[in-house]
Every structure is written in structure tokens, then in C-alpha cells.
Amino acid sequence: MVSLQVSPPSLSLRNPNFNSAHCFSPMKTPSYVAPNFNHIQFTYPFNSPNFLRFNIIYPISHFGRGRFNCKAIKDSGEEPKATLDFEGGGGGGGGGGDGGDDDQVENKSSTSTLLPEWLSFSKDDVATVFAAIAVSLAFRTFIAEPRYIPSLSMYPTFNIGDRLVAEKVTYYFRKPCAKDIVIFKSPPVLQEVGYTDDDVFIKRVVAKEGDIVEVHEGKLVVNGVVRNEKYILEPPSYDMAPIRVPENSVFVMGDNRNNSYDSHVWGPLPAKNILGRSLFRYWPPTRIGSTVLEDGCAIDKQDVSPAS
């Protein structure tokens, strides 16, 4: 208990008739001045010869949460006087010992609040973060990854800014088919002119290994059969001599045939350079949908129309 008392020199007894009004009504000592509790120790004069001083037994700076209790003491033959008691939140124990403990608690709490709560990590948190990163990298490497379209070479199928998901599982079980839209890193012939493995392209497969492909009078001809390509922007304005696609390679072209840097310029693409197959466009929202044609690999099993 920490006490602040107006203490006369003589022994005091509690006033049995005291009530709470004594705590809130002014004292009758004419020269009494209300104490200021912002100081550690202070003395205010009273005209009464018996009054000595206010003495704060416990430092104000160490007050924690608590409350003040008002009691009364009385000298013989005099009116009741107010006694102000302070009960701290910690409770119990002597003033000096409690003060030391409070210092230690304050120091510990200030140290523990140097960092925000959300920056406190446990071993389990760190393990979870690393596991999430590992799963994410594995997913992108072996299953699927998002891609961004930077050019118009595949227009109107893809526009600049479109975003798609390229899946990588299909080609673990089969080879690329005609009409597949593939994502691939630059082949050796392009790296010789300045491209790197970090440069990624997107084109449509038009012929697979062993096929003979040519462009004649604005039409794509594969194995002597004209391909019906409703997805291209316009017929090609160039001719291309027949080329046999080598083993473990494919022939790729952009849907924007007259504005595409593709196999008709630099030749067949090694299949090992293929990173994945375009599966789904997720941006923009107005064009969300699959990028896989319904007939898929069926084009490799049947002719569309004979070449004339």
C-alpha cells in the first residue's frame, strides 16, 4: 500500500463518522493548497502549527494502474482531516521491493515491443514459408506457369497484354500435335543472332516430325493437304518451298502470319526447347477461356482437303 498522508505529529485515530464527502469538500485550513502529484516530493505550508508536510512514500513515476482511497484521521479535539491512499495494480509487498520489480517489468516490455507482432517468427513459421516457396517453384517448373503476351504475332488468338496458363504435364505423355499453341525458349539458330534461353516465344504448331510443309498461294500445305485455318488473321502473303520437319522437331507459325518471326524464317523448332502448352487464358476477364482447339490432335489423323 502506498500512502500519501497529511500527518500531524501526534497519533491519529480513524473517524467513525467519516463519509466520502470529506474527500471532495475543501478543507477548512485557510492556507491549504491542492497538491500537485507531478513531483516526487513536495511540502505545502499550513497555518496549523501541527501540520508538518506532505510526504510521498512511493515515487509517483512508479504508479501503475491503481486507485486512490480517501480515509479520515482525527487528532483529539480537532476536526477530521483527509488521508489519501493509493493502491497500485501490482498489490502486496513493500514499496522499495515493488519498485525494483516494476523497473524490471518495464524494461522487459520495452524490449519485447521493439518489433511489431507480425515480425515475430517461430521455427514453424519459417518452415512453412520455405515449404510454400518450394511448392510454388516446383509447380512452376513441372506443372504450369503463367505467361504474358508481349506482341501481336499470335493475333487475333492473343492480343498484347493477354495472360495465359501454360501447362507442362501433357508433353510428359505425348509429343506435340498440330494446332497446339506452345511456349518455347529460343532455339540455337536464334541464339546465334543474339537471343538467349531467357527469351520465350509463343507460336502454333502446324507440322510435326516427318511432315512436309510448304506455303503456296496464301495457303498452308502439309503432306500435300491444304490446312483449313480459321484462327489466322489473314492468309500469308509469301510462298515457302517444301521443308521436311526433322526428327524430334516441330514446325511453328504465328496466327498473324504476315507479322510473325517463326519457322518460315528460321526453320524447325527442336522439341526439347518447348516449355509447355497454352491451356487457358485468364486475362482479360472478357476473354477468359480455353486456348485448346476441340479437334486437337485429330488433324494429324485426317486430311482437311486435297491440295489443288
Residues with active-site annotation? 153
Rounded Cα distance between 211 and 247, Å, is 10
Q: How many CB atoms lie within 10 A of CB 17?
A: 9
Rounded Cα distance between 170 and 177, Å, is 11
Q: If residue 265 lies in a helix (H) or strand (E), which one and from where to where? A: helix 263-266
Residue with cell 510454400: 132
Q: How many CB atoms lie within 10 A of CB 127?
A: 10
Q: 119 — phi, psi (to 5°)?
A: -95, 5
Rounded Cα distance between 7 and 2, Å, is 14
183 within 8 A of 273, measured Cβ to Cβ: no
What's the DSSP call for residue 101? H
278 within 8 A of 176, measured Cβ to Cβ: no
Chain CA centroid to CA 44, Å? 61
Provide the sign of the torsion angle of the four alpha carbons 32, 36, 37, 39, taken in this order.
negative
Strand pairing of 66-74 and 13-14?
antiparallel
